[in-house]
């Protein structure tokens, strides 16, 4: 007997087929997911290893830089770098090797250039980095101090409304801000940093806060509405300190080897006037109070003039020169570049470069020539103690002290006095400040100029 196929039995067969197909599809999907998961895991591992190799290579760059900074003098050539050799190490499950290559054109008495090459391998992935570095010169700062107080006192010196510094600034002390000064370059302070031995110091600015009696500390970028500085390239507080040399021995050595070395207190004139004409390209000197000049072509020596004694300086420079004094140095009148505007500084193609370095103070003399403004084209270093203005608390306002270059000093020297009125600083005695950074000093420096012991980071690149 045949039994008719019912609707129920047909549905049962269709359901079985559907379930079987669904199970097959799910199996294929699961297999695909497993395969893609394995591929993703491989890709993730590949990406992680490449990233780790980059970090390990950067660690190699940092190690080489630390070695350079630990040397008493910048290595001059391959022989000096041989103790470093090719340094290798293991880090983060990877290995790296790093070398330092000096620029074959490194000058004898100027900053040095190097290329650091670091190759790292993690999990079979290799990456190679190169970084160009150069010795950092004090000429790369428009402004540098060891301490932001008057010498031998606890009296702070303030950056105030109207002060405009358009280059990099560093102090190992605390920055004092009154009103609305403007900083065009990067600002750093080592106050409260890892090299500050006083646990009471915290990384912070000191803000004037509108009155003479109460000031406040803050790491904030302003203390509105009373103190609102402008930081054009940002700031860092609590950084490592930079050691300022106490002596000029290194430059003196350069002067003894191809430079101009003289003894006694000297009057130094650049481009001396003779019968109404300047002797451009010459540096002239005579004993203070004397009558006999010695005229020397700047091109005839290595550019470093060392005076064992005090120096009085003025004139117009045509050339590249560093004048060094083992005693005090006095600015007797404007000190200018030949290829420059007195107020606006060096012209675009100017190749005149001047460094003024004193083992003691650099002082703008209180004399007739400086009573109505004073213009200085130079990078200035006062190792012990300050760049300052003579009798800055006395007399009437003397106009504006304009500098195109930079000022390095151990303690903050005063150039004038004033008061804050209606958001403006009114000069009572001395000068108003008008300081501009000579940006040529980012890549060049005055002959034999002092170095910070740090290294300036230039180009960074990855080599395929």
- Read off the tokens for 275: 């019968």
pLDDT digits (tens, 9 = 90+) for 335-374: 999 999 999 999 999 999 999 999 999 999 999 999 999 9
- Read off the tokens for 394: 């006395």
- C-alpha to C-alpha distance for 220 and 233, rounded to whole angstroms: 15
Note whether 78 and 115 are within 8 A (CB): no
Please classify residue 202 by burial: count the beta carbons closer than 10 Å to its beta carbon, then call 0-12 exposed, 13-18 middle and 19+ buried: middle
- C-alpha to C-alpha distance for 342 and 335, rounded to whole angstroms: 9
Which helix H or strand E contains 87, and what residues bound it?
strand 87-91
Q: Which of 35-49, 351-365, 448-462 tops mean pLDDT?
A: 351-365
More confident of the two residues 108 and 132: 132
Q: Which domains does the chain have, with CATH numbers?
A: 10-137+452-464 (3.30.1300.30), 139-451 (no CATH)
Residue 416 CA: distances (Å) to CA of 130, 330, 408? 48, 17, 18
Note whether 178 and 212 are within 8 A (CB): no
pLDDT digits (tens, 9 = 90+) for 125-156: 999 999 999 898 999 999 999 999 988 888 89
pTM over 0.95: no
Query: Residue 43: pLDDT above 80?
Result: no
Please classify residue 417 by burial: count the beta carbons closer than 10 Å to its beta carbon, then call 0-12 exposed, 13-18 middle and 19+ buried: middle
449 Cβ contact partners less than 8 Å away, ≥ 6 residues apart: 110, 111, 137, 138, 139, 251, 322, 355, 357, 379
The pLDDT-based confidence of 28 (bands split at 50, 70, 90) is low
The pLDDT-based confidence of 46 (bands split at 50, 70, 90) is low
DSSP 80: H
Query: Residue 74: pLDDT above 60?
Result: yes
Query: Residue 41: pLDDT above 70?
Result: no
The pLDDT-based confidence of 76 (bands split at 50, 70, 90) is confident
* Beta strands 282-287 and 230-231, pairing class: unpaired
Buried b / exposed e across 332-366, counting CB within 10 Å, b at 16+? bbbbbbbbbeeeebbeeebebbbbbbbbbbbbbbe
pLDDT at 419: 79
CA 50 to chain centre: 33
Stretch among 94-108, 232-246, 380-394 having the lowest mean pLDDT: 94-108
The mean pLDDT of 236-265, rounded to a whole number, is 95
Stretch among 18-32, 41-55, 205-219 having the lowest mean pLDDT: 18-32
pLDDT digits (tens, 9 = 90+) for 274-304: 999 999 999 999 999 999 999 999 999 999 9
pLDDT digits (tens, 9 = 90+) for 156-199: 988 988 888 999 999 999 999 999 999 999 999 999 999 999 99
Find out whether the peptide bond into 225 is cis, omega within 30 degrees of 0: yes
pLDDT at 17: 58
pLDDT at 164: 86
* Secondary structure class of 233 (helix, strand, coil): coil
pLDDT at 395: 95
């Amino acid at each position: 007997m045949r039994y008719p196929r019912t609707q129920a039995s047909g549905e049962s067969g269709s359901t079985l087929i559907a379930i079987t197909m669904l199970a097959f599809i799910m199996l294929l999907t699961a297999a695909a997911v497993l395969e893609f998961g394995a591929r993703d895991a491989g890709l993730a591992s590949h990406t992680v290893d490449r990233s780790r190799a980059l970090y390990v290579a950067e660690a190699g760059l940092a190690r080489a830089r630390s070695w350079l900074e630990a040397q008493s003098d910048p290595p001059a050539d391959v022989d000096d770098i041989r103790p470093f050799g090719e340094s290798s190490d293991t880090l983060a499950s990877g290995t790296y090797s790093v070398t330092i290559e000096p620029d074959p054109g490194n000058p004898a008495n100027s900053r040095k250039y190097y290329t650091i090459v670091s190759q790292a391998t993690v999990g079979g992935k290799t990456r190679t980095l190169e970084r160009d570095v150069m010795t950092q010169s004090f000429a790369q700062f428009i402004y540098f101090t060891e301490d932001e107080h008057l010498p031998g006192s606890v009296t702070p010196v303030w950056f105030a409304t109207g002060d405009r510094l358009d280059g990099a600034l560093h102090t190992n002390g605390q920055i004092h801000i009154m009103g609305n000064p403007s900083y065009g370059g990067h600002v750093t302070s080592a106050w409260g940093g890892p090299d500050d031995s006083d646990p009471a110091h915290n990384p912070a600015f000191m803000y004037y806060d509108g009155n003479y009696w109460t000031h406040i500390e803050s790491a904030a970028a302003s203390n509105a509405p009373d103190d609102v500085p402008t930081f054009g390239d940002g700031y860092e507080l609590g950084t490592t300190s930079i050691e300022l040399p106490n002596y000029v021995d290194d430059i003196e050595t350069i002067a003894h080897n191809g430079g101009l070395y003289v003894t006694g207190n000297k009057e130094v004139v650049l481009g001396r006037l003779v019968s109404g004409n300047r002797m451009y390209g010459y540096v002239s000197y005579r004993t203070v109070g004397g009558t006999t000049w010695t005229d020397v072509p700047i091109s005839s020596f290595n550019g470093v003039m060392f005076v064992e004694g005090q120096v009085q300086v003025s004139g117009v420079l045509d050339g590249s020169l560093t004048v060094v004094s083992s005693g005090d140095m006095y600015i007797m009148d404007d000190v200018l570049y030949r290829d420059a505007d007195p107020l606006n500084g060096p012209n675009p193609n100017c190749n005149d470069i001047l460094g003024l370095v004193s083992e003691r103070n650099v002082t703008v003399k209180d004399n007739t020539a400086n009573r109505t403004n004073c213009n200085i084209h130079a990078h200035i270093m006062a190792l012990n103690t300050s760049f300052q203005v003579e009798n800055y608390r006395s007399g009437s306002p003397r106009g504006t002290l304009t500098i195109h270059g930079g000022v390095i000093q151990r303690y903050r020297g005063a150039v004038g006095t004033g008061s804050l009125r209606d958001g403006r600083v009114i000069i009572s005695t001395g000068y108003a400040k008008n300081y501009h950074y000579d940006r040529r000093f980012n890549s060049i420096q005055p002959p034999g100029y002092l170095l910070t012991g740090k290294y300036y980071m230039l180009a960074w690149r990855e080599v395929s």
